[in-house]
Structure 1
Amino acid sequence: MLESQERAYKTALEMVVNQMNDQIKKLEGKFSDLTVSLEFTQREVDELISDIKEQTKSSHEKIKQLEERINHQEDYIRKKNVRISGVEERDGNETWEQSVKTVTSMLQDKLQLEGLELERAHRVGARQDANPRTIVARFSRYCDREAAMRNARKLKGTNIFLDDDLCPASQAIKNAQMPQLKQAKAQGKIAFFRHTKLIIRERYNVGAAAGRGRQPTGDTDEGTAASASTRGQQTVGDAGGVGGVERGAKGSAQSGSATDVDVQVAGTWSDGKEEGFPSLPTPRSDVSLLLSHSASGASP
């Protein structure tokens, strides 16, 4: 009887173990299916994340390009504008017509410029203290605006300053370079802005042209031209290689001493017609001949 009970227990135990094994196998199968499904889902998620990253990067690039185009368009619209600071402001609210009269008077009295036409001029910002607000003046013609900027050196010592009217993004780029501008000027270099680009150049000396050749002279703005003088042949040109030419001279052999000569660093030697630069007088034919010989290496 005991043997029969023992066999019954063993049979029952085996059945339970078999059932448990079957359940474990089923669970293992389900777990395997879930693992495959999870791996597939993870791959899809990874692909989606990669696509989203690429689309986000492309969107950022397009947004950046659009912002640059908008900034360029805004700067172009402001091309005929000038920001004028330090001009005395009337008591009370100054109308734009009064601002136009004030700027016109300043152009005539301070810059000795007649006949420049303004479309509009107005103060910007809220008046907070006794200091006058900046005036934004828009010229009718771009050439008038350039004439005012070229003559801005005449305002030295008057606490009146003329500056480009740039969009906020361009102005931020320019402001970020102001420490380099001040450092270069402190080192005796020529430093100025072309739009948002900071141009820094060394000062050169050009020897006096020999014999009957006259000295090319002319007033040059520190922001647009450099004073250059050295004996012998000197290559002078801007950083981008625009209009740089070689100028040779006999120097002190015939004239007795080297002479400082104001030259236009960018642009051509004869016409100086690069936009925003003052023109230089054309050298006499004998000096031009001397320069051409010096540039080619032949003896005059």
Structure 2
Amino acid sequence: MSEFDKIEEMFQRIEGNMNQMNTKLDTLVSEMKLVKEENVKLKAQILEQEGKIINLEREVRKKNIVIKGVTDEENENENELRAKLQTIIQKISMNIDIKADTDQARRIGGYSKDKKRPIHVKLTKESTKLAILQNAKKLKESDIWIDQDYTKKTQEERRRLIPQLKEARKKGFKAQLKFNMLIVNDQIYKVEDLRKKEKWTKEIH
């Protein structure tokens, strides 16, 4: 074999190797594209499932309220607890029978002499819950307050919005928390808006 033939054969092998590499690269690119597409689909499915879970939690909690600030005893029984609830209902001038209009009433968490455990109340009707929340403002001068039964996610979002709520009110703005939203002078803010510090600071000032 001449020197020229050897060189030509070498280039042919190199060309063959490059073709194999290009084929493998094309295959790898195709596989990566498929993986990305699968990831996009998976993320969409996860978001859809999260949405369903959130809606389900809201559905489960839609008749519930949480009452805080009620005196607590270590060996408190259900009758004693319901009697306290009935007293609160009377204070807000509502004609509700705690025994008949509630499916469940229980303290949240373990007893501690230094704390008053919140009371979780499951009502029989959503309309009753809404009426109680509407009249809860009559407890304004007491240490007791009634709130929605928020999901843990919503509770955390509300906790993070409270400092901004206080700041807005301190500056004389009309401000309130509604679910996981802070409303300042009819402008709605959510937790993600607080990350845009310049936008938030400019608008609240």
Shorter chain as denominator, the TM-score bin is: 0.7 to 0.9
Question: CA–CA distance in 2 between the matches of 1:96 and 1:43?
Answer: 70
Counterpart Cα distance in 1 of 2:31 and 2:86: 62
Query: What aligned pairs does 1:246-265 form with structure 2 within 5 A after superposition?
Result: none
Instruction: Indicate yes or no: 2:62 matched with 1:79.
Output: yes
1:145 matches 2:129: yes
Match runs of 1:14-93 below 5 Å: 18=2, 22-92=5-75
Distance in 1, matches of 2:117 and 2:6, equals 86
Alignment check: 8 A CA contact 1:100 1:120 kept = no
In structure 1, C-alpha distance between the alignment counterparts of 2:80 and 2:51, rounded to whole Å = 35
The 10-residue stretch of structure 1 (171-180 or 32-41) with the greater mean CA deviation from structure 2: 171-180
Give the distance between the partners of 1:118 and 1:187, measured in 2 at CA.
41
Partner amino acid, structure 2, of 1:83: V
Q: Given that residues 122 and 136 in structure 1 are in contact (C-alpha distance below 8 angstroms), is that contact kept between their aligned partners in structure 2? A: yes
Q: How many pairs are equivalent?
A: 185
Q: Is the 8 A contact 1:111 1:151 kept in 2?
A: yes
C-alpha separation in 1, matches of 2:153 and 2:163: 18
- Tell me the percent identity: 24
Alignment correspondent of 1:184: 168
> 1:102 — aligned with what?
84
Amino acid of the residue matched to residue 144 of structure 1? T
Q: Deviation per CA, 1:95-120: give whole Å up to 9, x if none.
A: 44543332222212x32222242221
TM-score (norm 1): 0.55
Structure having the higher Rg: 1
Deviation at 1:133, TM superposition (A): 0.9
Q: Which runs of 5+ in 1 are unaligned?
A: 1-14, 202-237, 241-300
Say whether residues 1:170 and 2:154 are aligned partners: yes
2:181 is the counterpart of 1:197: yes
Q: Deviations over 1:211-233 (max 9, x none)?
A: xxxxxxxxxxxxxxxxxxxxxxx
Distance in 2 between residues matched to 1:50 and 1:167, nearest whole Å: 38
One-letter identity of the residue aligned with 2:132 = A
Q: Which of 60, 71, 94 pairs up with 1:113?
A: 94
Determine helix, strand or coil for the equivalent of 1:177.
helix
Contact 1:75 1:167 in 2 (8 A): yes
Residue deviations 1:39-74 (CA, integer Å, cap 9, x gap): 121122112112211221221122112212211221
Where 1:199 maps in the other structure, the secondary structure is: strand
The 1:183–1:23 alpha-carbon spacing in structure 2 relative to 1, beyond 3 Å, is same
Which is worse superposed, 139-148 or 185-194?
185-194
- Higher relative contact order structure (alpha carbons within 8 Å, sequence separation ≥ 6): 2
Could you tell me whether the CA contact under 8 Å between 2:63 and 2:126 is conserved in 1? yes
Aligned-residue Cα RMSD (Å) equals 2.4
TM-score for the superposition, normalised by structure 2: 0.78
Q: CA deviation at 1:178?
A: 1.9
Give the whole-Å Cα distance in 2 for the aligned partners of 1:97 and 1:63.
44
Which of structure 1's runs of 4+ aligned residues deviate more than 4 A? 20-24
